[in-house]
Amino acid sequence: MMQETQSIQKLKNVLEAALLTSPQPLALDEMLRLFEGKMERTTLRMLLDELKNDWSERTLELVQIASGWRFQAKMEYAEVLARLSPEKPPRYSRATLETLAIIAYKQPVTRGDIEEIRGVAVNQTVLRTLVERGWIDVVGHRDVPGRPSLFATTKNFLDDLNLRSLQELPPIDNLPQQEMEI
Amino acid sequence: MLPPVISARLHGEPIASLPQDLYIPPEALEVYLDAFEGPLDLLLYLIRKHNLDILDIRMADLTQQYMSYVDKMQAAKLELAADYLLMSAMLIEIKSRMLLPKPAELEQEDDPRAELVRRLLEYEAIKIGAQKIDALPQVGRELLVAQACFEHVVKVQLPVVEMEDLLVAWRSVLERAKNYKHHHISREQLSVREHMSLILRRLQQEGMLEFTQMFAVSEGVQKMVTYFLALLELAREGLVKMTQQAAYSPIYVQAAELMA
């Protein structure tokens, strides 16, 4: 029993080292490679849950996002840690955010769809900003004259927003009457 | 709840209360144009501000307010976005359709406002969605991904050197130094003058010598060169005479005085 506990700890240590040093989130398949085929998926999931639990009292937390698992600083340290970077991260304009929201909630959409919903022309730089951020990309073309590009959000977008899937986006379906304070 | 205290000034005059309607100082129009993300955004603002029921919009009021805003924008000679004008046309069309008596056979016609309402609600949902997305924690903003450094480049393992290795190495250096010793040309002071004497002495003893006999290959290049230089010097000074019968035939060296 003692031995078993020790070997579990060893496996968790391997996962911990890999997750802490990986520049990108690690997917389950990647983590399985660490054990050269001697690991069951379900066991791996269990180990990750244990590891997550082990860290629950620490400064970092193990989270699962769209492309895998990663360690990140707990939210409570965000404000303090921000003092280390002299420049505040810029916020996106409303046009950019609304365009992103349309792509996120209604994807895949064309530029025309975005313009239809917003009632104004879409500035090309807005789409370029989002593509460069790696949050949206072209997933195809609509089979209509002009074959306009169909935009969708990427895994990277979900990762950056700490989400596992689009289903975790805040719901907007309950329509907004009561949300407006007048 | 206390009413908000307003401490704003307009053209130097304090404002006692918030303007009742959308107030746009002419010079601020551009700012307002930026504040609205298009005609739908402006319409939503007007509807919400006046607490209008979005599902039962009084088209006359709304159109009037919307038009007055667009008029102000035009008055300021701003390049008016076509989108705003298009919306004006749409509002007026809806209003006029509502004024017209419906023919009996079109009793079932949809409310002309339905499409506008649908678009307004859809846009409002997106607007709220955008705010919600922006409120989510974001990597690089509220989220900081942990990244311990691990150099994936394999480090070159430097060999360990023991004292014993150093001694062994040093001994072998000494050993080899011994072997190479004779290669170290301890510069023999080979004087050309001295060799000139040597040559003359030989010539005196042996009379005439063939040129090639002058040199002993075993004595080394440097020695031979010195001999050669000495011989040239002797010839220059007229102390030896060198003769050759024909090309490629042996050269003979003899002391000049013997010839005299």
Q: What is the pLDDT of residues A73-125, one digit of tens each?
A: 998 898 888 888 888 878 888 889 999 999 999 888 999 999 999 988 888 89
Give the gyration radius of chain A's Cα atoms: 21
Contact B59, B95 (CB under 8 A): yes
Q: Assess A166–B contact: CB distance below 8 Å, yes or no.
A: no
Contacts of B152 (CB under 8 A, 6+ apart): none
Q: Assess A80–B contact: CB distance below 8 Å, yes or no.
A: no
Q: Is the dihedral of CA B32, A99, B130, B63 positive or negative?
A: positive
- Of residues B241 and A43, more confidently modeled: A43
AA identity, residue B71: D
Nearest-Cα residue of chain B relative to residue A25: B145
The pair phi, psi for residue A102, each rounded to 5°, is: -65, -45
Q: What is the mean pLDDT of residues A50-67?
A: 93
- Res A57 pLDDT > 80: yes
Residue A180 is predicted with a pLDDT of 41
Burial pattern B99-124, b for ≥16 Cβ within 10 A else e, equals: eeeeeeeeeeeeebbeebeebbbbbb
What residue ranges of chain B have pLDDT lower than 50? 1-2, 186, 260
Q: Pairing state of beta strands B251-255 and B208-210? A: antiparallel
Question: Which residues on A lie below 8 Å from B121 (Cβ)?
Answer: 175-176
Q: What is the mean pLDDT of residues A38-49?
A: 92
Helix (H), strand (E) at residue B192 = helix B192-206
- Res A62 pLDDT > 70: yes
- Chain A closest CA to B124's CA: distance in Å? 7
CB atoms within 10 A of CB A25: 20
- Res A55 pLDDT > 90: yes
Q: Assess A118–B contact: CB distance below 8 Å, yes or no.
A: yes
- Whole-structure pTM over 0.90, yes or no? no
